[in-house]
Each structure stands twice: as structure tokens, then as C-alpha cells.
Structure 1
Amino acid sequence: MNIFGRMSAQVPMNMLITYGMVSFYKSTIALIFWQWFNQSYNALVNYTNRSGNIPISFDQILKSYILTTSAALITAVGLNRLIMNLPPICERFVPFVAAVVAHCINIPLMRIKELQNGIAVYDENKKFLGNSKIASRRGILAVLISRITVSSMGILLTPILMEIIGKSGITANMEWLQELIEMLLCGIIYALAIPISCAIYPQISPISIDKLEPELQIQCLSSNAQYHQNDIGLFVHKHALADEDKYLVSNQYYDTC
């Protein structure tokens, strides 16, 4: 497994990327480079943590990478030109808007098979009911909100805090100290943001049975069903042990949260 694509690399890598995006936003070339670097890293994470149950093809990752990177670059460069006459602080929020647009394209594309085929839903006793496209849409929306939460805390909070620190005079005439503080802030914020965003939604998410497809409703005797919020090919194995059936639920997924 590629070391930079592993989940353990999320904080240091996102610290570096966010620092680059919020520090070098005035230069168009730098803006393009950091948006490209960010989307390239996201593609690496998706590929490294891809599911073994419903594998993601290289073509699918490449298509998502090209569309997402193009959208992020067009958004960033376009917004930068539109806000030229606005207060300078507005420029610092351009990377966030570009990141949100990229997430809205990347996540559905990377999980297109879930949208097409649905994800496994099971009752409160772990009995497999079937695949639900409704549950897959809810799960993907939850992942999207989690990703945007991480981006907002890192890309939005850092410039705001740096603006406050700059006005306080702490870093006056010490540009190196300002850059150091900014990088440390990025690291601290991401160290907090990533677990917080993952905790927004439970891993096993309940869903009212009356919100599922009719064919699944008739199979469930309880009022609630469950699905894995980050499911990429949640699958259920049925094992006959002694006189009873037991269900083993296994999960592999590539999403960060």
C-alpha cells in the first residue's frame, strides 16, 4: 500500500496542501498548482484505499480525476478573476469554493456503482434485506457533508485566524513566524477536523423502513433498517453454525470518512 495514500498520512498531507492553498492564493500559477496537487492527492487516496469487493477501475479513477481537477481549476481561476475588485480577504476563500465543487463531482463519480446498484441494507438482527439505491444516496450525501466539513475547518478557519493574528501585531515584520504559525494552524485544525467529520454520522446508520424501496419494506419486520454509511460493497455472508444461521457482516471501503 502506498504510504502517502494511507489514512495515517491524512493529517500531514492535508496540512501541507492546505498551507499551500491558503498561503499562495494570489499567484494564478500557484493557485493552479495547489488545486492540481490537491486533486492528485485525493485520487491517490481513492486508489490506495479502493474496495476489493466492488473494485474501482483505473479508467473510472482517471475519468473522475480529470473531471474533478478541471472543475477545481476552472472554479479557482474563474473566481479569482471575478473577485479582483473585492476586499483581499475574499481571495483567501477561493480555494474552499474550488474544493467544494471538486468534492461534489468526485464523490458521486467515485461511487457511481453504488448509485446504480445500491448498497446492502439489513435489519436490526443483521439479516440481509437487499440492496437499496435510497440508502446509497443517503450514504454518499453524508460522506459529501463530512468532506466539506473537513475542508471548511481547514481552508476557512486558517485564513480567519491568521487575519486575527496579523492584526494583533504578534508577527509584525516576522514573515517567517507568520508562515510557521499558519502551517502549524493547518496541522492542528486537521488533526481535530478529520475525527470530528468522521464522527458526524455513525458508521452504521439507521434508516426508517418506510423510506426504503417497497420490495425491501415487505422483507423487514422491524420499523428500522441499517446500512453502512461508507459502504463500498458491504456484503453479508450466511454461515450455518449448529442449528442456527449466523450472519457475518464484512466491510471494506475507500472513503476517508
Structure 2
Amino acid sequence: MNSRWGQRFAEQFEQAHPGAGQSQVKGRALLRSGRVTDVRVSTGLVSGRVQGSRATPLTVMLRLAPLDEAQWQRVLAALASQVRHTARLLAGQVPEGLEAELEAANVSLFGPVTAECSDGRRACEHIAAVWLATAERIAADPFELLRLRGRGRERLLAETATERSRGGAGVPRAGVDPATLDPSTWTRAGIDPLSLELGLEPEPRTPAGPLRLLGDPPGWTGGVSAGDLFAPLVIRAAAWARHLATADDVGSQPGGSGQN
């Protein structure tokens, strides 16, 4: 499991149920054999069905208390303070340093999980299977953990943008002393461009995501949001940049038209 949040959620099963290692092994086997279905993540609750040895699938519920509003305000403040946090979430990655910032604000994205299975057993393989399935969902999409704690993806992005615009309103930005600028760097690169090695990041799940998460700039009065207006341009520019970085013929157009 390549996500810190997913791994940490999986480890909570072991911490909550010491000595249930065999249940975890059986649960992983159930998950790998495709016998875990209908896993749904909502505020404070994960539900799932497991096809065990009986004809009727068993229902498993995992409960984790949502963060309260005061805690969510601290989460939003942390996300709004660093654009890179939300950008990494949009890329399906865990934001570096976010957990430490939240812990400093006395907020944890993890907490005690209670579990129940319709067969009445505690720490059974069915609970382990749904627990591991949830961990895999969090690993694939960190927004799933935030949804479990009380904020879905769209609401979280909207509230983060609002918090960012509110926090920046009326705050003057530090300028740069013109005397420190070197005019020779305005038209010449400091290094040979041919020496640059370009690494391609995976294409984002949300096209023009960073633009959308920033929200409208102060004073924006357009009939549409800045994100909707400029997103097509950003998406086309990103496609063109990717094409230039990978094409054998830089004179060709994305899509192979070969026309300028």
C-alpha cells in the first residue's frame, strides 16, 4: 500500500484488535478474491458486504466520529495556507507536512474506529476485509478519509477556496526592491535549456485543479467563475507542454496533425 494514510488506517485494525492477526490474513484473502462488495464511505460511516461461507452476504459497519466544526476550521486553515496541500490531494497524493500541521493544531484525521458485523463476532475476518478495503480506497483517493471525517471532495474544495480568499483579503504582499534585480536575466536563462531534464508528472485527476481550488480572485465580477473561464486555456497549455516534452518532432501539433 503506497499511501501513508491508507497504511495508517490499515494499521488501526491491528492496534484496535491485538491478537487478531489471523482474522486480518483471512480478511485480506476475502478482499483479494473479490468477495467484498458495496463498500461505501460517508460521514462517520463505512458500510460494506462480505460474501462469507453463508449464502447471504454479511454486512459490516465501521464508525469513526466526524470532526467537529471547530476542528474543521483548523483543517481548512491549514489547507488554505498552502496551495500545495490541496494540489497534492487533487493528484491523489497525501499532502506532505499536513498531518504535522494539524497535530500542532490539536487535530487528528485518525481516531478510534468501532466495528460491527451482522454475524455478531468482534474482530472477525469480515470486519478485517472491509477495513482493508477502506484502507485501499483511502490509499487510492485521500479525499475518502476526509469524507469519512465529515467533508466530501466538492464541499472541501469550495470551503478551502473561500477560506483562502478570506485570509488573503486586504493583506499587502511584500514587494521586491528594483535595485536588487539583474536586467540581464530578463531575456536570458541562467542555465543552458538543453541541459534541463524534464520529468512528467501523472496527468491530474481534476484538469486545471489548482486553478479551480484557488477560487475567484478578489474583485472578480465575471458572469462565470475564473476557473470555468480559464480552465480550457490551462488544459490546452498543459497538453501542449506535455507534447513538447515528449514529441520527436517539436513542430507537430498534439494529436499528430503536423500543422502549425
Is the pair's TM-score, using the shorter chain for normalization, greater than 0.5? Answer: no
TM-score range with shorter-chain normalisation?
under 0.3
TM-score, normalising length: structure 1: 0.25
Structure number with higher helix proportion: 1
- Structure whose residues are more often strand by fraction: 1
